[in-house]
Chains A and B, each alone.
Chain A
Amino acid sequence: MHLEAIQLNKHFPTRNGSPIVALKDINLHVEGGEFVCAVGASGSGKSTLLRLIAGLDRPTSGEVRVDGVRVTGPGADRGMVFQNYSLYPWMTVMENVAFGLKLRGMAAQQQQQAAAYYLEVVGLTKFAKSLPKELSGGMKQRVAIARALASQPKILLMDEPFGALDVQTKEIMQQFLLEVWRRTQTSIFMITHDVEEAVFLAQRIYVLTAHPGTVQREILIDLPSERDYHIKRQPRFQDHKEEIMDLLRGREAVVLA
């Protein structure tokens, strides 16, 4: 798997004429099995970037390529997890997870098997028959992740997936996501405004600026890939965090002045 964004630009027209430049000359790439994060302040075009990669919006100029093929629309090779879970409320947890396979026309028997496997991966086997409204936020997000994984995408795209969760749940979910990533060896591209989350999860981080959204810096995270929350106390973790915070702050100070 090789995903790349080449000279991506996205403008949104406004009523007064001069368009909003949400993204300006974005270049980035994600390789097979990699966990990459993009961090940036609110309004730095993170969601816009992810939507372009998913093919849900078209760039003003530039292109996204997956394994050399230009992205012209959404497809099952790029799974998506939104912040607000977006589960199908009339389906059980099991049906939600199996839905991508059903859309593809897989036989019911195989759907069940695959869905059961991914429910086991996310630890929700016991809730297979529950409706989404009966689950907590963290559990809903795990269903959404299982659903995306069940379609076996080349890459998993995540838009602040834990943004709506409380601190404790968030920490558990981060640990859980690393676990899932290790087990499934899926490539993950995740965007977040939470610097600590990005450093904890990612192997590589793109730091974005706002207005216009550009890639300010690419940072290799020099931490072992086996991580748990203890790592957050290590000096190297703190250094990475501070470095990124300073980058984001530096920009902020300029705006305020």
Chain B
Amino acid sequence: MTSIEPLPIPNKGGDRTYQMLPPTVFWRIAEGIPRRLVLILVALSIFVPLLLWWMVSTSGVVQPAYLLPTPGQVLGSLQRLWTEGILPADIAYSLFRVLSGFLLAAIVSIPVGLLMGSFASIQALLEPIIGIVRYMPAPAFIPLLILYFGLGELPKILLIFIGTLFFNTLMIMDAVKFVPKELIETTYTLGGRRPQILTQVIFPHILPSIIDACRVNMAASWNLVIVAELVAANEGLGKRISLAQRFLRTDEIFAGLIVIGLIGLAIDLLFRLLLKLSCRWAR
């Protein structure tokens, strides 16, 4: 054995100044902030844009004035559209299309994603084709869908189906890769068969990820339903916006946009609640 030269002893740090990390509340990385601060920041994030909008629209900077309605005008037309029954009908149509298209996509994508993530064979079989199709923008399918299925509900629902199916499938597939291999192997040594592993180990383990993937892709569904209705529809929130454009009713356009945003937010919160209730173990 060769002996090892001792390292020179560093001077004990007496002549060096050490810096301590300065304390902070706002900039703590990956930590929580006090609840009061949360409330203040949330309020800021909503009221500052509202205030700006109100100031600009009432100042008369934008000419002609109808291009930028004031918050009051928008609220007025919201009320009018609602009481006339136009808005509830539009919401119902758009919601129906989004929900049916998305539900179909979920019913297909959850099992397919599960299979692709679990079996390298199924992944090799399906990933190439999905990889190509998902880069084709869904709105580009609208002309084809109209040619094939006319102007009814089916092409709109199918558009949403196509637009969310592939991303949802791939996100669920990826989630399966995070299931610890040891958990699966443990199940084998408890006598688990392969179908049982899929339904009783992998599925519950990725349920939080499934709900989250659905939450994210639901947003895409909303985008698509508006696009579909802009192109071809007799009712729906997208249709309302394009009609309003024809008559230069920017207040109605704003009203439509706000409703779309609020419904999207509500659905998002619903998914979060579902996640919280069904997956207590994950937090």
Report the stretch among B102-110, B151-159, B179-187 that lies at the interface.
B179-187
Which of the residues B1, B200, B279, B281 comes within 8 Å of A103, measured between beta carbons? Answer: B200
Check A151–B190 contact: CB distance below 8 A: yes
Interface residue B79 (Cβ < 8 Å from any Cβ of A): no
Interface residue B196 (Cβ < 8 Å from any Cβ of A): yes
Interface string of B169-209 (1 = CB under 8 A from A): 00000000000101101111111110010001100110100
The interface on chain A, measured as residues whose beta carbon lies within 8 A of the other chain's beta carbons, has a size of 28
Interface residues of B in 86-138 (CB under 8 A from A): none
Known contacts A56-B185, A82-B182; is-contact A88 B190 (Cβ 8 Å): no
Q: Closest residue to B191 on the A side, CB-wise?
A: A76
A54–B182 alpha-carbon span in the complex (Å): 12
A55–B183 alpha-carbon span in the complex (Å): 15
Which of the residues A73, A80, A104 comes within 8 Å of B186, measured between beta carbons? Answer: A80
Q: Which chain A residues lie closer than 8 Å to B282 at the CB level?
A: 89-90
Residue picked from B187, B188, B192, most chain A C-beta under 10 Å: B188
A102–B279 alpha-carbon span in the complex (Å): 21
Q: B22 → chain A, closest Cβ, in Å?
A: 33
Majority DSSP secondary structure for residues of B touching A: helix
Interface residue A78 (Cβ < 8 Å from any Cβ of B): yes
Task: Please tell me the size bucket of the interface on B.
Answer: 20 to 34
Q: Which chain B residues lie closer than 8 Å to A84 at the CB level?
A: 182
Check B205–A79 contact: CB distance below 8 A: no
| A-B Cβ contacts below 8 A, count | 67
Which of the residues B182, B204, B207 comes within 8 Å of A86, measured between beta carbons? Answer: B182
Interface residue A74 (Cβ < 8 Å from any Cβ of B): yes
Check A147–B281 contact: CB distance below 8 A: no
Q: Which chain A residues lie closer than 8 Å to B182 at the CB level?
A: 82, 84, 86
Q: B280 → chain A, closest Cβ, in Å?
A: 8
Q: Closest residue to B204 on the A side, CB-wise?
A: A90
Check B281–A79 contact: CB distance below 8 A: no
Check A74–B200 contact: CB distance below 8 A: no
Check A80–B185 contact: CB distance below 8 A: yes
Q: Closest residue to A90 on the B side, CB-wise?
A: B281
Known contacts A88-B183, A103-B196, A103-B200; is-contact A131 B190 (Cβ 8 Å): no
Check A103–B189 contact: CB distance below 8 A: no
Q: Which chain B residues lie closer than 8 Å to A75 at the CB level?
A: 188-189, 191
Known contacts A103-B200, A131-B281; is-contact A86 B180 (Cβ 8 Å): yes
Check B183–A104 contact: CB distance below 8 A: no
A84–B204 alpha-carbon span in the complex (Å): 20
Interface residues of A in 79-95 (CB under 8 A from B): 79-80, 82, 84, 86, 88-90
15 additional contacts, CB 8 Å, given A54-B185, A80-B186, A82-B186?
A73-B188, A74-B189, A75-B188, A78-B189, A79-B189, A84-B182, A86-B182, A88-B201, A90-B207, A90-B282, A99-B190, A100-B190, A131-B281, A148-B189, A151-B190
Residues of A in contact with B (beta carbons under 8 Å apart): 54-56, 73-76, 78-80, 82, 84, 86, 88-90, 99-100, 102-104, 131, 133, 147-148, 151, 157, 256
**Which 4 pairs from chain A and chain B are nearest by CB?**
A76-B191, A100-B190, A74-B188, A80-B189
Q: Please, could you name 18 A-B residue pairs with CB atoms under 8 Å apart, sorted by A?
A: A54-B189, A55-B188, A56-B185, A73-B188, A74-B188, A74-B189, A80-B186, A88-B204, A88-B205, A89-B281, A89-B282, A90-B207, A90-B279, A103-B190, A103-B193, A103-B200, A104-B191, A157-B189
Residues of B in contact with A (beta carbons under 8 Å apart): 1, 180, 182-183, 185-193, 196, 200-201, 204-205, 207, 279-282
